[in-house]
Structure 1
Amino acid sequence: MLIFLAFFAANAQTLKSEQIALKKIQALYFARDFESGAEIGEQFAKKFPDNTEIKAWFILNMARAGNAKEAVKLAEKFSEKNKENAWILFALANAYIRNAQPDKAFPISEKLIALTPENEEFILLYANALLTKKEYTRALEFLDKNASKMFDQARLMTLIAELFYRQNEKEKSFSIYAQAQKINPKDVNALYSAGLFLNREKRFTEALPLLKRAVELSPKVFQVREQYWDALFQGQPKKSEQQRKAEVIADINAFLKIRLTSKNLENVVYYFRKIEPVDRQKSVVEDVLLVKFPQTAEAERISINRLRRFNYYTKDRKIDELKKVEYVKKLWTFINRPQYFNQKHVGEVYTNLLHILQDDKKVSDTEYLKIAKRAINYDGLNFTDPYSTISSALIKRGLFAEAEKFAEAGLKKFDVKLSEAKKDEQNKTYLDFSEKTDRAKILNILGETLLKQKKYEKAEKVLLESAETSKEYNYVFKLLGELYETTNELEKAEDSYISYFAIMNLEKPNYDNLKNIYQKRKGSTDGFENYLLNVKKIEKTKRREIVVSGRNKEAKDLVAFNLKTLDGKSFSSNDLKGKVVVINIWATWCSPCVKEMPELQQLYKKYSGAKDVAVITIDSLEELETIKKFMTGKKYDFPVLLSGDYFSAVPVNIFPTTWFVDKQGKIAYTKTGYSKNLLEEFDWRIEELKK
């Protein structure tokens, strides 16, 4: 009897411990502290391996903590052993919802409702599955039908409020949120969700007290704090920007004191970028992350961004030797990191190292080649790196045979990368815009190595291939001019040099090569100035021919959009049908974009009254106020659309990029980079498309 009682007491104690554990995990979930819920949940799931409800809430926390894919895998693994267990199915359906797989989640939620129609967790799951499928009316009808079964009416009202918000019945939504908060003033979700949606509606002042209360109830959660900081910064109009920023920064510091994790530091770094604080504040947080969590992905990103911003030039654009030494040390420090999260970061650093060392006489040719051989194990930012940088540097060092080997290897590597990239739809836009110019670049370098070694026949073949590949800003015509001048084919040399000047459109062109050819023909330079005037006319004609002939061979349809203007109105691509449209993609931080803006403004003014031509721009992922301030300061009035998530569907990697869309809605021309003669050359393309 005593043994039985002892056994019964032990089981009762275990059961009580399990219930306490379950309540802890659930409490963290309802407080939106999913990170802690996942950590503690994992411990409890191991401690009580037979308790499927604990496993379920552990998976829910895990999925909401940003690990939805892992949560799905774990839930699927558990379900293999417990195929009919309701709590495991509950976990699996929730994980599918968080992993954006509503079609898999919904049948499971239907099954659970059929098995246990009174369970409020299963009722909410079913409604959430419908919400994810965007069947809002059906979800509301279901909740109305099952409202009496719900013990936690605040949770019910919070979900109903969200459904009304999704249906664009916003005032009704906020009224229901208020009811939920009245029922349970400590419901973090009712406070947070209402504050989140009020922030989205720019009603920051109303959101502020709700989010402040949510932070008091759940102080360790970044997502709650983030919305609070937005409201704190935007919802106090009577305070100065400096005061509001100071309050946000003070609260960020308070948050990091109670929960200093690498993930929170990463999140804070990103948030600092959002509110545009002084660099010192952002640097302080970054410094903490680099010291406390040096071997994290965010630490690597911070390090690479700092290297990108490092300036080793003096004010008059000369190299500061001491800063150069410091920069090289920093590059080596990055290379010597024990692990890498992004291989392209390593390739980028090696490329920069090779570039800065190319003229360094302290670095021997042998040492330079040793670094180069290590560098080719990593891809750079574009398809030609690091090979193009290595080959160019070796040409400067007079190592022409070695430069040729690297250039040939780079060309083969380029073709391999190109083949792989074409398999991924996401690379399509980049390839459309950069494939030709990148290939021409490596061909030019290879051609130059051959020219330097007097392999003229092979050099001509390679350089002509480059000229055929791309005519836009192609250095090849200068190389062809040098080749033909060397082989005494003066007519070809002259034509190549004129093509080079037409394409490059240099600020201060050097006509010495043409002068040499003129002298060889005439025996003196008499009359060269008159000859040059005629050359400039030919140059402009040739430039127009090159610009107009640069149409995209496989013109693709403009991806449809419906974007917001600076004053909040909708602007649809459907409104542009039947017109020739110029779409300039830019950003205020892009100096080449800003440099060409005066002529872009002139172009807009020229066609502002035209019925068959439209000139518009799309800003890339900047804050509305930043753009407005820029436009007002510069007194520009050309149309600006906010990109939103458009560039996730249509990636743009080069700024500025300009699309010239024909009357059929196809992108006929694509111009990347700065345009020195924007008004003239854009006009040529427009007139061609109007024909």
Structure 2
Amino acid sequence: MSLRSARYALRVGLLLVCAVHASCGAPPDYTAEELEAAKAELRDHVRLRTFEAGLLFGEDWVARAPDDAELRALYARQLAGWRLSREIHEQADAILADDPDEPWGHYVRALAYLSEIEYEPAIEPGRRAWEALRRPEVAAAHLESIRNRGAEHLSEVLSTLDPATRLSPEILLMQAEIQSQAQYELNDPTWADSSLATYSELRERWPDHVDGYLGAAEDLFRANRAEEAISLIEQAVALAPGSVDVRQWHWWILFLSNVLPADERRTAVEASIAAFRDSAPESVRGLYALADMYRDLGDEERAKEFEAQVIERAPLSRHATLIYGREYSTERSKLNELYREEGRDSPEYRAQLEVVRDAVYRYLERPLYTDRYKESAYMGLYSALGDMDPVPVEELAEAVRGLARYDRMNPHITYGTALLNMVDSTPYALEAAEIARSRGLQAAVDRAQLTRNSSRTEGEWEQSLRYYLSIVYDAMGWAYFKGGRIEDGRHALERALELTEANRETRYHLGQVYEHFAAEAEAREDDGAETEWFDRAEDSYIAGLGSTRMGENPSQAAIEALYERRNGSRAGIEEYLATLDERDQIRRRDRILESRVEAAGTYEPFHLPRLDGSLVDSADLEGKIAVVHFWGTWCGPCIVEMPEYQKFDVRYRDDPDVRVVSISNDTSREVVEEYLTRNNFDFEVLMDDGYVQRAGIPAWPTTWFLDRDGYVQFVKRGNTAKLDEEFTWRVEAIREEARRP
């Protein structure tokens, strides 16, 4: 019998003994003191990051004391060192099955999500655990769960902890990691010094805690300070010679830096490897680390030997799944290299597409650790199939279905590009529309939610949400249209355009819908409707020519085809294309001037403070053409147009006849000041005191254009892509009207 089989049989036997004892009321085979000693030993494994030995020790003790929630939580912490999310969830299930309110169970649930780097689902169990169980390790999990909210928010939460908790090794480590995170988020390298100082405090207060040495060594190595890093990592090795985490960093620093002459590096690494294997129990995680290191050393044969051992010992493990994925990842890398060197149309690139496809299929047939690992595989499969010529229809459709089942992080691809490809290349347009409707919209909200905590203002977050939603609505609308549900397609596409005007695919798709309506009008000989729909299609294509997104613009070919359709030939098309910008300006200007308020009225007077506290009375606007702009940093459409608004404000800043003011609906003056400073904006801002409610502002942004007598001549609701130009037309129209006798 193998050692692994013997250990498994022993664990099963222990579980059966425990079950018999429980039913008969027999006493456990350990004392209370022994149980507490076991918990202390598990904490030592966390302190030293010796999760391999800790996992084996914890397995045996959980079998002996399965009802002790704290013991299971300490065992789960060993599993978290391996990022074994499935097994951690099983421990949480076992704890919470006995008591749904057990805080250790919620702590373990948070650990399970954090091991998958899923911060949002970890927030609620992390919070519940911390509210009920004021332990440093629980506080650390709570802080880790809100990491996406940004370093500044994390620092605020950190400051609320009691002094004893703040000085615990778990929280000092979190503080150092938060400070390290801040240097990148805030673009301030001085935070790196703060992080190193906190690691130093951790070592001083807790000299036997390996993270004080390991964390600092990692940061120093990344900062190209390997000479300082090597001393710290060697102290960590002395503390924890059997830790995979410590040894891996030791190997990398020895091999990838200049602390040793090049001809001595491999010898030093192999000596460290030998010492590691002597001091640590052989484990799947350790074997996987050895495979990685030998591959870095250029020894592919040894790397594959260790990988084969991983698969033989644990074919269903997370580490085996990572090894299975290496083949298709390698083939995808070759594909990308061929694309750069040979181009998309080369025979070599085309042949490699099939190699990638076959490698992904082999991977998906494997026994994978969890379905999460199918996400990137289906993304690679979709990309390869979509580039084939001809596209394998059924395979592509199934790849998109797989993406919709498993992808969580890329709604702009899965429910945007991929669905559009499914619509254009397969007969499953209406299925694509249903995928967008039933899954895509929620996926867009979920993805935007991940950016909410890192967004500096609500407006920036809303901008992100609108971006993702517009992509899904665009794919849904195009799918409905191509599937024959024309009106549903039109409404979804127009919704996409309301969310984000700059999506050029939406402009093209809407142009196609409008051409369809023009063809219907032509069939029933309704010349007026035909012309109107053709004009709308032309406007949509012209707007699409100026929209963002890289690559080939579909509106270019569409507008040329439309010209030929309306004129019967391409004669004169070059002259026509040369006038597109002018035609676009004329049409937009005509529509704007036609939008002038028919019965101009006055507005509710105001008396509002600037950011510096000085007051502005609306009476100060009398005798001038005034522009009053209502906005807020929480408003996504407002944020989008702010650079254009700054240009417009500068245009009229020195004009004695014109006054431009903005009224912010934010509740915090500090938020507005920080936003203006960060973006180098200096337009005049008045702070709302309830005025927008009194004035009945119905939408954001809203802008009033007042004549010299205080009458509102134009009202613009919603954001404007070409604000500077179109606001200027309104101001100059009012000025021109005033000059007339």
Q: Does 1:251 align with 2:278?
A: no
Task: Report the counterpart of residue 665 of structure 2 in structure 1.
Answer: none
Q: Please say if 1:412 is aligned against 2:438.
A: yes
Match of 1:580 in 2: 676
Query: Once the 2 structures are TM-superposed, how far is the Cα of residue 498 of structure 1 from its aligned partner?
Result: 0.5
Decide which of 451, 455, 465 is 2:495's aligned counterpart: 465
User: CA 1:499–1:195 in 2, change beyond 3 Å: closer, same or farther?
Assistant: closer
Question: For 1:298 and 1:290, how far apart are their aligned partners in 2?
Answer: 7
Q: 1:503 aligns with which of 547, 552, 559?
A: 547
Selected match of 1:382 from 387, 393, 410: 410
Q: 1:482 is matched with which residue: 501, 512, 515? A: 512
Q: Hey, what's the Cα distance between the residues in 2 that align with 1:20 and 1:210?
A: 34
Q: Which of residues 116, 132, 135 in structure 1 aligns to 2:163?
A: 135
Q: Matches of 2:199 and 2:480 in 1, distance apart? A: 69
Q: Is the 8 A contact 1:358 1:394 kept in 2?
A: no
Counterpart of 1:317 in structure 2 is 344
Q: Is residue 491 from structure 1 mapped to residue 535 from structure 2 by the alignment?
A: yes
| SS of the residue 1:472 aligns to | coil
Cα deviation, 1:369-419, whole Å, max 9, x if unaligned, reads 6776677554464347756567544544463xx312332343233245457
Q: 2:360 aligns with which of 301, 315, 331?
A: 331
CA distance in 2, matches of 1:415, 1:108: 39
**Residues 659-674 of structure 1: pairs in structure 2 closer than 5 A:** none
Distance in 2 of aligned mates of 1:211 and 1:327: 39
Q: Secondary structure at the match of 1:503?
A: coil
Q: Mind listing any 5+ residue stretches in structure 2 that lack a counterpart?
A: 1-27, 82-87, 112-125, 138-157, 169-193, 520-529, 593-628, 640-668, 688-699, 702-720, 732-741
Q: How does 1:212-227 map to 2 (within 5 A)?
A: 212=234, 215-216=237-238, 218-225=240-247
Counterpart among 623, 635, 652 of residue 554 in structure 1: 635
Would the alpha carbon gap of residues 578 and 684 (structure 1) be closer, same or farther in structure 2, given more than 3 Å must change? farther
Question: Matched residue of 2:503: which SS?
Answer: coil
Between the aligned partners of 1:374 and 1:246, the Cα distance in structure 2 is 46
How does the TM-score come out when normalised to structure 1? 0.51
Q: Does structure 2 retain, via aligned residues, the 8 Å contact 1:331–1:353?
A: yes
Structure 2 vs 1, CA of residues 551 and 243 (structure 1 numbering), >3 Å: closer, same or farther? farther
The 8 Å contact of residues 394 and 403 in structure 1, kept in 2 or not, is answered as yes
What CA distance in whole angstroms lies between the structure 1 residues aligned with 2:672 and 2:492? Answer: 43
Aligned length in residues: 499
Distance 2:482 2:72 in 1: 67
Contact map agreement 1:383 1:417 (CA 8 A) in 2: yes
Q: For 1:503 and 1:138, locate their aligned partners in 2 and report how far apart those are by CA, in whole Å.
A: 50
Q: Does 1:346 align with 2:365?
A: no
The Cα of 1:550 is off from its aligned counterpart by: 12
Cα distance in 1 for partners of 2:350, 2:274 equals: 38
Q: Is the 8 A contact 2:429 2:479 kept in 1?
A: yes
Matching of residue 531 in structure 1 with residue 576 in structure 2: yes
Question: Distance in 2 between the 1:503 and 1:523 partners?
Answer: 28
The offset of 1:440, in angstroms, is: 3.6
Alignment-mate amino acid for residue 512 of structure 2: E
Return the structure number with greater relative CO, CA threshold 8 A, min gap 6. Answer: 2
Are 2:337 and 1:295 equivalent residues in the alignment?
Answer: no
The C-alpha deviation readout for 1:203-235, integer Å capped at 9, x for no partner, is 87577557536535642122443564577579x
Distance 1:579 1:241, change over 3 A: farther
The 3-state SS of whatever aligns with 2:579 is helix
Aligned partners of 2:42 and 2:54 also within 8 Å: yes
Aligned partner letter, 1:332 = Y
Output one character per residue of 1:121-158: Cα deviation in whole Å (capped at 9) or x when no partner. Answer: xxxxxxxxx99955259989xxxxxxxxxxxxxxxxxx
State the AA in 1 paired with 2:507.
Answer: F
Contact 2:452 / 2:461 at 8 angstroms: preserved in 1? Answer: no
User: What is the rounded CA distance, in whole Å, between the counterparts of 1:437 and 1:171 in structure 2?
Assistant: 43
8 Å CA contact retained: 2:332, 2:380: no
What is the letter of the counterpart of residue 544 of structure 2?
Y
Partner Cα separation in structure 1 for residue 261 and residue 61 of structure 2: 48
Alignment of 1:51-200 (within 5 A): 63=77, 66=80, 133-136=161-164, 189=208, 192=210, 195-196=213-214, 199=217
* Alpha carbons 1:439, 1:469 under 8 Å: kept: yes
Gaps in structure 1 of 5+ consecutive residues: 1-13, 81-88, 110-129, 141-164, 181-188, 559-572, 584-609, 614-661, 670-680
Given that 1:348 and 1:381 are in contact with CA atoms closer than 8 Å, whether structure 2 keeps it comes out as no
Aligned-partner residue type, residue 554 of structure 1? C
> Counterpart of 2:344 in structure 1: which amino acid?
R
Q: TM-score, normalised by structure 2?
A: 0.48
Maintained 8 Å contact 2:469/2:499: yes
SS of aligned partner of 1:338: coil
Q: Output the amino acid matched with 1:43.
A: D
Deviation at 1:483, TM superposition (A): 3.7
Corresponding residue for residue 644 of structure 1: none
Cα deviation digits, residues 218-261 of structure 1 (max 9, x gap): 42122443564577579x86645786587457635753675442
* Identity among equivalent pairs (%): 18
Distance 1:554 1:263, change over 3 A: farther
SS in 2 for 1:475: helix
Q: Deviations over 1:616-641 (max 9, x none)?
A: xxxxxxxxxxxxxxxxxxxxxxxxxx
2:6 corresponding residue in structure 1: none
SS class of match (1:311): helix
Q: Report how far residue 328 of structure 1 moved.
A: 1.3
SS at match of 1:331: helix
Change over 3 Å in CA distance of 1:104–1:352 after alignment to 2? closer
Does the C-alpha gap of structure 1 residues 264 and 542 become closer, same or farther in structure 2, counting only changes over 3 Å? farther
Please give the root-mean-square deviation of Cα atoms over the aligned residues, in Å.
Answer: 6.6
In structure 2, how many angstroms separate the alpha carbons of the residues matched to 1:75 and 1:517?
A: 66
* Structure 1 segment 513-532 matched on structure 2, within 5 A: 513-518=558-563, 527-532=572-577
1:245 to 1:449, Cα distance in 2 relative to 1, 3 A: same
Aligned to 2:619: none
CA contact (8 A) 1:131 1:139 kept: no
Equivalent position amino acid for 2:439 in 1 = K
Q: 1:221 to 1:408 in 2, by over 3 A?
A: closer
Tell me the alpha carbon deviations over residues 447-469 of structure 1, each in whole angstroms, 9 at most, x when there is no partner. 44555567655544443333233
Distance 1:513 1:108 in 2: 62
Segment drifting more, 277-286 vs 59-68: 277-286
Which secondary structure state, in structure 1, belongs to the residue aligned with residue 316 of structure 2?
Answer: coil
**Residue matched to 1:261:** 283
